[in-house]
A and B are shown apart, each in its own frame.
Chain A
Amino acid sequence: MKAAGLVRGALVAALLLAGSAAGLAALAAGPSLDPARAGPCVEDPKVMRRSHMDFLKHDRDDTVRRGIRGVKHSLSACVDCHANKADGRVLGSDRHFCQGCHAFAAVKLDCFDCHASTARIAPAATAAASLPGAAR
């Protein structure tokens, strides 16, 4: 009985491993996104991936309540840099920055129910040098 149970367990484990190998590879690669307009980011991308929502939440109060416009983590500035090179947007398809990553992580994204999802700088002026962050 015990031996049979063990064998069954091992079989299930082996099946699971084989099945998820492909999935794991896809996970490691991350979402596939179209090129964005400028970089680098205001923080280390690893930190941003984990904490961008907290940064945004912290700085939004400074802007809305206290009128500080020069915050480091501003959603409009995120959009300006991360907007798709072709159409200047961060939403539209799973290849657009915000939508693509949120779809990949299966996290609901509601910033853009209210906020503009289009870069402030027109797509024609995509000269990377004109974007904040591109200088560094």
Chain B
Amino acid sequence: MNPVDKRRREFLGSAAAFAGAMIAPGVFLYDYANAGVSDGASRPRGPAEPASASVRWGMLIDTTKCASGCRECVDACNRENGLPGTTRSTDSQWIRKVDLKDLRTGKALSVPVMCQHCAEPPCVDVCPTGASFKRADGIVLVDRHTCIGCRYCMMACPYKARSFVHEPTTGQKPDVPRGKGCVESCTLCVHKVDRGGTPSCVEACAAAGHGAILFGDLNDPQSEIAKRIREVATAQLRADLRTDNGVRYQGISG
């Protein structure tokens, strides 16, 4: 073996030793790097455990299954979150059904649009008080305790997903406080997700026989949603803005 090879071997040997360095007995550096992906999602979170960054909640909406004229998800959202469900221009709407038609081909689509739970949320960037925030698991929320109702976030949101509460509220749900003077939007039913549940729109859509919305952990390669987005072409709305949305749509570009 010539001297160069020898030095190379020694160098590679020490590099390998570094990469596999033990941090604590039995725990290796690469274990830490992979920890989130390998087991974070499959295990339900305990009530005292904070939301984990190893999870990223998201939804996949199959536009080919979503029926025009159906409002099951919207109604379920209103019921779950104690929204009045009225649609004057100033009323809160957490999900909107949007009907689209390509005039050249005549292809029509009907899709629910809600907070897209961006990885890079503009509403969080602009909020002057820190009330608009992204949780570790990717859910974008308003902390109403800190919101001053300035509505910058409503201006910043490319999806018009946020609403301002103009009038005193009644009939709030214990898990969904809401009140006049604050901005609000889809929470991905965070109170249910925290207890291992699924957003109400997803359940309602499935119960109505459409099954157009799939909810799950985008970070867990074994999850149904991760498998689907690996296999079929899906799109994020206004992907050009690079907000990296947690809500994706299938069949939207055809």
* CB closest chain-A residue, reference B182: A114
Docked Cα-Cα span, A67 to B140, in Å, equals 12
| Residues of chain A from 32 to 67 with CB closer than 8 A to chain B in the complex | 60, 62, 64-67
- Complex CA gap A70/B45 in Å reads 11
The interface residues of chain B lying within 8 Å CB-to-CB of A68 are 47-50
Give the distance to chain A from B204, nearest Cβ to Cβ, in Å: 22
B145 touches A115 (CB 8 A): no
Per-residue CB proximity of B124-138 to A under 8 Å, as 1/0? 000000000101110
Q: In the complex the two chains form, is A67's CB within 8 Å of B190's CB?
A: yes
A57 (CB) vs chain B CBs: closest residue? B145
A15 to B169: give the CA distance in the assembly, Å. 48
B134 to A: closest C-beta gap in Å? 10
Mostly helix, strand, loop or mixed at chain B's interface? loop
Cβ contact within 8 Å between A114 and B169: yes
A81 beta carbon closer than 8 Å to chain B = no
Contact partner, A67, options B135, B145, B168, B178, Cβ 8 Å? B135
Q: Is A120 within 8 A of B145, CB to CB?
A: no
Q: Does A114 lie within 8 Å of B190, measured CB to CB?
A: no
Docked-complex contact A116 and B143, CB < 8 angstroms: no
**Size range of the chain A interface in the assembly:** 10 to 19
| Residue of chain A at shortest CB distance from B179 | A114
**A102 interface residue, CB < 8 Å from B?**
no
Q: Which residues of A contact B178 (CB under 8 A)?
A: 114
Which residues on A sit within 8 Å (CB–CB) of B173? Answer: 116
On whether A66 and B145 interact (CB within 8 A), knowing A76-B175, A120-B174, the answer reads: no
A116 to B177, CA, bound (A): 7
Known contacts A60-B145, A70-B46, A70-B48; is-contact A65 B172 (Cβ 8 Å): no
Instruction: Evaluate contact between B50 and A67: CB separation under 8 angstroms.
Output: yes
Q: Which of B47, B135, B191 contacts A65 (CB 8 A)?
A: B135
Give the size category of B's interface with A: 20 to 34
Contact across chains for A65 and B179 when beta carbons are under 8 A apart: no
Minimum Cβ distance to chain A for residue B128 (Å): 17
Chain B residues, Cβ within 8 Å of A113: 168-169, 179-180
Shortest C-beta distance, A80 to chain B (Å), equals 8
Do B51 and A115 have beta carbons less than 8 Å apart?
A: no
Residues of A within 8 A of B135 (CB): 65-67
Closest B residue to A68 by beta carbon equals B50
A98 in contact (CB, < 8 A): no
Contact of B177 (CB < 8 Å), options: A66, A67, A70, A115:
A115
A65 to B194, CA, bound (A): 12
Cβ distance B129 to chain A, nearest Cβ, rounded Å: 13
Residue in B closest to A62 when the chains form the complex, CB atoms: B50
Q: Known: A76-B174, A114-B178. Is A64-B143 also a contact (CB below 8 A)?
A: yes
Q: Which residues of B contact A (CB under 8 A)?
A: 45-51, 133, 135-137, 141, 143-145, 168-169, 172-175, 177-180, 182, 190-191, 194-195
Given A66-B136, A67-B45, A113-B169, list of 13 further CB < 8 A pairs? A62-B50, A64-B143, A64-B145, A66-B50, A66-B51, A67-B51, A67-B190, A68-B48, A68-B49, A69-B195, A70-B46, A70-B48, A114-B169
Q: Can you list 14 pairs linking A and B with CB atoms under 8 Å apart? A: A60-B145, A64-B141, A64-B145, A67-B50, A67-B136, A67-B137, A68-B49, A69-B47, A70-B48, A76-B175, A113-B179, A115-B172, A116-B172, A116-B174
